[in-house]
Structures are given as C-alpha cells and as structure tokens.
Amino acid sequence: MTPGWPDQRRAILRDSLVVGLAVGMYGLSFGALAVATGLSTWQAVALSSVMFTGGSQFAYIGVIGAGGSSLAAAAAALLLGARNTFYGVAMKPLLPTRGWRQVAAAQLTIDESTAMALGNADPAEPRAARLAFWTTGVSVFVCWNLATVVGALGAASLGDPGQWGLDAMVPAAFLALLWPRLTSRTTVGVAVVAAALAVVVSMVAPPGIPVLLGGAVAVVVALWGARRDAAGAGAGPGSPGAQGAAS
C-alpha cells in the first residue's frame, strides 16, 4: 500500500460527500421550479436522473416555462450539455473503463466529478483520481435526485406557483448558475452580447429560439478563439510561415 494512501482516501471521501451535499441543495430549487413550470413530479425526477446536468435542466424548464416547445427546450439543454463531451475526453486517460462501467462513467461525467478527479490526478497514485471521480459522481447523483424529489413534492403541495412567485425564480436560478463563471472580460462580454441578442430576438421569435441564439454566441467565440490559437501556434518560431517572414 502506498504510504499516506489511507489518509488521502479519507480526504477524498470527505470532500466528495461535501460536494454532493452542497450541489444537492440546487436540486431542491430544480424540483420546485420544474413543478412551477408545469412539469409533474415524476417528470422532474426523470429529468434529474436521466439528463443529470444542472445547467441543461434549468435551461429546459426555462424554455418550457416561457411557453416554448419541447424540441426547442431539448435543443437548448443539449447546447449547454455539450461541454460534458470535452470532460469525457479529459477523463478518458484517468478512467480506463469498459462495458457497463463506461456507461455509468458517461452518466456521472459532470463538472464536479471531473474537477475532483483532475484535482486528485497523481501519477504515483492513479487510484486517487478514480476514487474522486466515482465517489463525487455518485454523491452528487444521489443528493441531487433526492433533493429534486423533495423540492418537487414541496412545490406541488403549494398549489398555484404564481401566487408564491416560483414562476419568477427560473431565470433567477439560471443567473445564479451563470454568475460564478463570469471570471474574465471575455466571458462577461460574451454573456452581455448573448443576453442582448436574446432580448432582441425574443420580440419576434417564439420561446426557445432566443436561448439557442444566445448560446450560439458562445460557440462562435469559442471557435474563433480556437482558430486564432491554432494560427498562432502555426506561426511559431519554427514554422515555415515564421521562417518566411523572417527571411
């Protein structure tokens, strides 16, 4: 046994549980807001267990609550959930899984499990990253889904959500998810442009379309940044283009 592994394992288990409990609190909001937008308790529970990505779930009920179609809501959720694909690429070297374990790992690949796994990645102790991923993923999944049930049942017992102001909490909850990510001028700029575009388009387009176009702004900026970085790398000191310019 690697020296210090028992202490490291206990620390990972403790942190995973704390993350699960903290994220699970958002599940209460989702359950309540899902019912407030017209979903049944079981529909809310199904979204949490199958979709299982907070941003996408809030986007889905946001479009539905605004009167958008299920297709537009699903498209908005898919756009936000696309980031999990990149998480999978980053996690592949740390999780050599096959069969049903690979399916389970795909379901549990979220922001928190990926961050915990990468934060505990240690070439000398590969078990650390795997343990952090699985325990965090399971902890968040269980807490999120249990909280969704509690929130949905609680909201269902309140009656008309409009009388309690729950219908206005969907955009507020979505803003709460977005706010911590505004860490640079670029992200703030993208958010402002996307919001402005969504507001203008909402005057003429059906619900759901403004969300998709707003998300498209981030996609365009990301592709432009990737192309610029690739061009910069290709024009490095050792590249043919740089040598031609120098001559």
Q: What is the pLDDT of residues 40-80, one digit of tens each?
A: 999 999 999 999 988 788 888 888 877 777 888 888 788 77
At residue 226, the pLDDT reads 64
pLDDT at residue 131 is higher than 60: yes
Rounded Cα distance, 42 and 44, in Å: 5
Find the mean pLDDT for residues 191-195.
79
Looking at the structure, tell me whether residues 175 and 60 fall in a common domain.
yes
Rounded Cα distance, 90 and 84, in Å: 10
Looking at the structure, tell me whether residues 225 and 165 fall in a common domain.
no
3-state SS class at 182: coil
Q: Is the dihedral of CA 136, 140, 141, 146 positive or negative?
A: positive
pLDDT class for 247, splitting at 50, 70, 90?
very low
pLDDT at residue 240 is higher than 50: no
| Cα–Cα distances in angstroms (integers) from residue 35 to residues 49, 60, 157, in the given order | 16, 13, 10
Find the mean pLDDT for residues 1-7.
74
- What residues have CB less than 8 Å from 110, skipping those under 6 apart? 52, 53, 84, 87, 137, 140
Looking at the structure, tell me whether residues 36 and 117 fall in a common domain.
yes
Taking a C-beta distance cutoff of 8 angstroms, is the pair 88, 63 a contact?
Answer: no
Q: 223 or 40: whose pLDDT is higher? A: 40
Please indicate, yes or no, if residue 225 is contained in any of the structural domains. yes
Cα angle at 228 between 224 and 230, to 5 degrees? 115
Q: If you average pLDDT over every residue of the chain, what do you get?
A: 78
pLDDT at residue 238 is higher than 60: no
- What residues have CB less than 8 Å from 97, skipping those under 6 apart? 104, 105
Q: Which residue's structure tokens are 């980053």?
A: 90
Q: How many helices (H) and strands (E) does the chain have?
A: 12, 0
| Cα–Cα distances in angstroms (integers) from residue 220 to residues 18, 27, 78, 194, 225, in the given order | 36, 31, 16, 11, 9
Please indicate, yes or no, if residue 241 is contained in any of the structural domains. no
Looking at the structure, tell me whether residues 148 and 200 fall in a common domain.
no
Which of 133, 143, 113, 170 has its CA nearest to residue 22?
A: 143
Phi, psi (degrees; rounded to nearest 5) at 207: -55, 140
Find the mean pLDDT for residues 181-186.
74
Half-sphere exposure of 100 (CA within 13 A, CB side): 0
pLDDT at residue 236 is higher than 60: no
Looking at 157, 181, 205, the residue that finishes a domain is 181
pLDDT at residue 160 is higher than 60: no
Please indicate, yes or no, if residue 190 is contained in any of the structural domains. yes
pLDDT at residue 5 is higher than 60: yes
Looking at the structure, tell me whether residues 93 and 201 fall in a common domain.
no
pLDDT at residue 96 is higher than 50: yes
Q: Which domain holds residue 192?
A: 184-235
Please indicate, yes or no, if residue 244 is contained in any of the structural domains. no
Q: Is 206 exposed, middle or buried (0-12, 13-18, 19+ CB in 10 A)?
A: middle
Number of structural domains the chain divides into: 2
Please indicate, yes or no, if residue 247 is contained in any of the structural domains. no
- Tell me the DSSP string of 136-153: HHHHHHHHHHHHHHHHHH
Find the mean pLDDT for residues 88-109.
87
**The residue type at 181:** R
